[in-house]
């Protein structure tokens, strides 16, 4: 867990210094105000339970979601996606999302809820927390950047 937290910190620090002016959705046609894009779906089947937050002070989105691993039917995992500059991510049609596993224990990630707040000790850093269910252990869990 400490290794994952360290990796998330490095990623958030790296992406917090990137310009966000180009990370915006395209203007929808005048007769349809909704946009839709695929974030992740090539290696998992999105199961249910999705939560999204706009990172404070940025135009970037962060998404927590659960999915079934394609190689392990019935094996629920907690995933996280961070909106990045097009071409710099590892998922999504235009590679504009950075996707990662947060918790890969058996049957975790049910009903995730995500929140993001500025770090009170470092105004340039954003802290992210995800609460979610652990079905296998019948418990509520919380993952966060530290």
Whole-number percent of the chain with pLDDT over 90: 38
Q: Is the pLDDT of residue 46 over 60?
A: yes
Q: Where are the domains of the chain?
A: 2-20+40-144
Residues 70-127 pLDDT 10s = 555 667 889 999 999 999 999 888 899 999 889 988 888 889 999 999 988 998 899 9
What pLDDT does residue 91 have? 87
Q: How does DSSP classify residue 91?
A: B
Q: Is the dihedral of CA 72, 74, 78, 81 positive or negative?
A: positive
pLDDT at residue 128 greater than cutoff 50: yes
pLDDT at 22 > cutoff 50: no
């Amino acid at each position: 867990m400490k290794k994952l937290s360290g990796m998330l910190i490095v990623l958030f620090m790296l992406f917090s210094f990137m310009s966000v002016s180009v990370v915006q959705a395209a203007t929808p046609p005048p007769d349809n105000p909704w946009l839709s894009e695929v974030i992740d779906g090539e290696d998992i089947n999105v199961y249910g339970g999705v939560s999204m937050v706009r990172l404070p002070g940025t135009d970037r989105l962060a998404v927590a979601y659960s999915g079934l691993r394609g190689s392990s039917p019935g094996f629920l995992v907690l995933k996280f996606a961070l909106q990045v500059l097009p071409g710099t991510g590892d998922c999504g049609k235009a590679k504009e999302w950075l996707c990662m596993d947060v918790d890969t224990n058996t049957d975790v990630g049910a009903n995730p809820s995500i929140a993001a707040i500025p770090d009170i000790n470092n105004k340039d850093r954003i802290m992210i927390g995800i609460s979610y269910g652990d079905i296998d252990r019948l418990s509520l869990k919380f993952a966060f950047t530290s």
